[in-house]
A and B are shown apart, each in its own frame.
Chain A
């Protein structure tokens, strides 16, 4: 995304409703800052994340995608984050195949009490994506 002529990374964060979305809310309540590049999409559970959503985001010009869910063992739906973890592992090898840098996708476990961790993770992820630069691999140039 171009802001005032300078490139700024676009980052999509999928957050599960029970832990990480609440953790992100806590970050706000504690007024801990992270870059505005991060846009959060609420999903009921990390297992709701279809890997296609990540490919879609990269296809539409996202520079980084992060999935945040409850810590393993703490899933509101008992086992959802285990499914998410397994699916993401498979997706990582597919992203390797597509040539999308491994560092553009990340999975983090953030509980509803970890506001500080959420901010730290987002600061770190934005820094990492900024260093990587623009993601052009999956962009559909025909639509431009």
Chain B
């Protein structure tokens, strides 16, 4: 027999001014099963909560309905109240008579009637509520960071400093990411390597950090607190434990025509290489696409010169499976491919370069040793044109991205400034749509480029670039002057839009993390949970979530680390008890539920059932892992036999609400 208590809150005058609370309590008191109905000025106050507690004890209530503000406001508060009185906290329902009644209706009679109906619906539902117990699942105290750029390194360092083990999985042979390729950084103009490489070394030497370079995540199973991750360690054909990084092999290798990916193909290297001088780990690897030994079986120079016998041509990919409590995606970005931008002559003339290529051309460790030279004839460019927003903020033509890439305005100002500083005889022109410099000391930086360094900023776009007699004829428009300037440039630099690393898409599928239409990872809440993905236990760091500069990336990396630390410092996590639950008698194992589950929470097990003829038979039935299920209810509707139901929002409960409202 149900014994339900109804508590109607006045919320001062917030509810009572529009809803006749006494009448609501009186009417609801006559509902079947209700043994107590009362009203009180502030239910959430200490005395209001005491009143509820006492009533539960004295009246031996089996269910509680509170007509008050939104459950999003005080459901948690009242659940604790109910639990204190010894009643299961899920035997509580809240009728939202403030936000969805008294605040949106003016007529007192109508609002009162609606409050009564909402109360009835809550009573009808609470009658069918079952006591639920939130389960717990253990937390593996190790984190996985996917991506070893500045975002991943910073996240790993912060987590490790808090005392938790971290693995960094990096697909390249070294950590460092895009930042390692940069020359200087805005707005302070300190060199990227000088601030990044110490961090790389810190990560390598940290006793809690384990760097798995030249590796990729292949499969992810499990859930928050205990993910099981399969990591493919690609064969580098060099024993990582033996190689000392002396570099002798990289000098003696006879295969010299390998485009150097670190310098974006602007120069060449050998088939066995260390990515760059400060690489971490400083271990050579062989590119199997170019190595003569691996391709033809005839060479073996590197193995002969190696003094420690680290070369192993027979090395194979290996798979490792590890457990983690939390996963951080830090997969970063890359510039878009410019092959569709034929009008800018990229690919037709070597003197049309992207901004990232210019970074290498200006870097002391780059192909030109830091002297700015044209790639075509290795002469000094005297006139340089920068083209902004190549592919950014322009989706219409089907080639670009709808968003602003955010960093281009600032790095172009940096490039222009550095060039004018080093080569004052060089004229620098920048074609732009808008100059966007929100950030600390950013606008001052841009103004310096214009005012102190005399960089020519031209409002307008470039229509065409034509290679002509060793020069590049840039035809653009100057919207402010109303002219069509033609500039004969020696070098053209394109600020290519940035896009998420292509590995992000497949990783998101593995992690069941969501992505937006541009393949950036989606955050759990754009304002209030910016470093968490909607998937529990998966966090976001750096440009994989959206275009970012270095300070923002580092800040977000630290924030993601804080979230991971918060998770890993718990021994157990409490699960949401409102999860799907199958009726095994009714389930026919059809897999419809499994197909719609976004979390992979549903598996199947063969169970024995008694048949009508008293024999037993094995039948395949659905099993829900309550620690993985997030309680969306997609499976409950997909189930053709009605075997799947959602605790807390069961079919019967929702039907009862419908009936109460429509009666």
Interface residues of A (CB under 8 A from B): 3, 10, 12, 21-22, 24-29, 31-36, 39-45, 47-53, 56-57, 60-62, 73, 75-80, 83, 87, 119
B359–chain A nearest beta-carbon distance, Å: 34
Q: Which of A35, A47, A77 contacts B637 (CB 8 A)?
A: A47
Mark each residue of chain B from 87 to 106: 1 if its CB lies under 8 Å from any CB of chain A, else 0.
Answer: 00000000010111101111
Residues on B with beta carbons closer than 8 Å to the beta carbon of A31: 103-104
Q: Is the interface of A mostly helix, strand, loop or mixed?
A: mixed
Q: Is the Cβ of A36 less than 8 Å from the Cβ of B107?
A: yes
A–B complex contacts, Cβ < 8 Å, 20 sampled: A12-B662, A21-B70, A29-B99, A39-B661, A41-B657, A41-B661, A42-B71, A42-B96, A44-B632, A45-B634, A47-B632, A47-B633, A48-B632, A48-B636, A50-B651, A53-B658, A57-B662, A61-B663, A73-B517, A77-B534
With A29-B103, A33-B106, A48-B646 as contacts: A53 and B662 at CB distance below 8 Å:
no
Q: Which of B104, B598, B634 contacts A33 (CB 8 A)?
A: B104
Residues on A with beta carbons closer than 8 Å to the beta carbon of B662: 10, 12, 57, 60-62
**Looking across the interface, which residue of chain A has its beta carbon closest to that of B654?**
A53
Q: Is the Cβ of B649 less than 8 Å from the Cβ of A44?
A: yes
Interchain pairs with CB closer than 8 A, number: 137
Cα A43 to Cα B106 in complex, Å, equals 26
Residues on A with beta carbons closer than 8 Å to the beta carbon of B72: 21-22, 25
Residues on B with beta carbons closer than 8 Å to the beta carbon of A22: 72
B425 within 8 A of A: no
With A25-B70, A40-B96, A41-B654 as contacts: A77 and B634 at CB distance below 8 Å:
yes
Q: Is the Cβ of A34 less than 8 Å from the Cβ of B634?
A: no
Cα A22 to Cα B70 in complex, Å, equals 9
Cα A34 to Cα B101 in complex, Å, equals 10
Residues on A with beta carbons closer than 8 Å to the beta carbon of B633: 43-45, 47-48, 80
Cα A51 to Cα B646 in complex, Å, equals 15
Q: Which of B70, B578, B598, B663 contacts A77 (CB 8 A)?
A: B598
Q: Is the Cβ of A45 less than 8 Å from the Cβ of B632?
A: yes
A126–chain B nearest beta-carbon distance, Å: 12
B132–chain A nearest beta-carbon distance, Å: 14
- Which residues of B620-663 have CB atoms within 8 Å of chain A's CB atoms? 630-634, 636-638, 646, 649, 651, 654-655, 657-659, 661-663
Which of B96, B101, B104 is the most central at the interface, judged by chain A CB atoms within 10 Å of its CB? B104
B111–chain A nearest beta-carbon distance, Å: 6
Cα A140 to Cα B625 in complex, Å, equals 40
Which of A12, A32, A45, A61 is the most central at the interface, judged by chain B CB atoms within 10 Å of its CB? A45
**Looking across the interface, which residue of chain B has its beta carbon closest to that of A51?**
B637
Residues on B with beta carbons closer than 8 Å to the beta carbon of A50: 636-637, 651, 654
Q: Is the Cβ of B632 less than 8 Å from the Cβ of A27?
A: no
Q: Is the Cβ of A27 less than 8 Å from the Cβ of B99?
A: yes
A-B CB proximity, top 9 nearest: A48-B633, A28-B99, A28-B103, A60-B662, A77-B632, A36-B110, A47-B634, A45-B632, A25-B99
Mark each residue of chain B from 285 to 320: 1 if its CB lies under 8 Å from any CB of chain A, else 0.
Answer: 000000000000000000000000000000000000
B396 within 8 A of A: no
Q: Is the Cβ of B632 less than 8 Å from the Cβ of A12?
A: no
Interface residues of B (CB under 8 A from A): 70-72, 96, 98-101, 103-107, 110-111, 113-114, 117-118, 121, 512, 514, 516-517, 534-535, 578, 596, 598, 630-634, 636-638, 646, 649, 651, 654-655, 657-659, 661-663
Q: Is the Cβ of A39 less than 8 Å from the Cβ of B114?
A: yes
B81–chain A nearest beta-carbon distance, Å: 20
Residues on B with beta carbons closer than 8 Å to the beta carbon of A36: 101, 105, 107, 110-111, 113-114
Cα A77 to Cα B638 in complex, Å, equals 15
Q: Is the Cβ of B654 less than 8 Å from the Cβ of A79?
A: no
Q: Is the Cβ of B104 less than 8 Å from the Cβ of A34?
A: yes
Q: Is the Cβ of A49 less than 8 Å from the Cβ of B117?
A: no
Cα A11 to Cα B133 in complex, Å, equals 34
Q: Which of A24, A42, A60 contacts B659 (CB 8 A)?
A: A60
With A25-B99, A29-B99 as contacts: A77 and B649 at CB distance below 8 Å:
no
A76–chain B nearest beta-carbon distance, Å: 6
Cα A25 to Cα B70 in complex, Å, equals 7
Q: Which of B105, B514, B638, B663 contacts A60 (CB 8 A)?
A: B663
Q: Which of A26, A60, A78 contacts B512 (CB 8 A)?
A: A78
Q: Which of B634, B657, B661 contacts A80 (CB 8 A)?
A: B634
Cα A100 to Cα B388 in complex, Å, equals 56
A73–chain B nearest beta-carbon distance, Å: 7
Cα A132 to Cα B336 in complex, Å, equals 53
Residues on B with beta carbons closer than 8 Å to the beta carbon of A27: 99-100, 104
Q: Is the Cβ of A56 less than 8 Å from the Cβ of B658?
A: yes
Q: Which of A26, A29, A44, A87 contacts B578 (CB 8 A)?
A: A44
Q: Is the Cβ of B630 less than 8 Å from the Cβ of A77?
A: yes
Residues on B with beta carbons closer than 8 Å to the beta carbon of A45: 632-634
B182–chain A nearest beta-carbon distance, Å: 33
Cα A10 to Cα B114 in complex, Å, equals 11
**Looking across the interface, which residue of chain B has its beta carbon closest to that of A43?**
B649
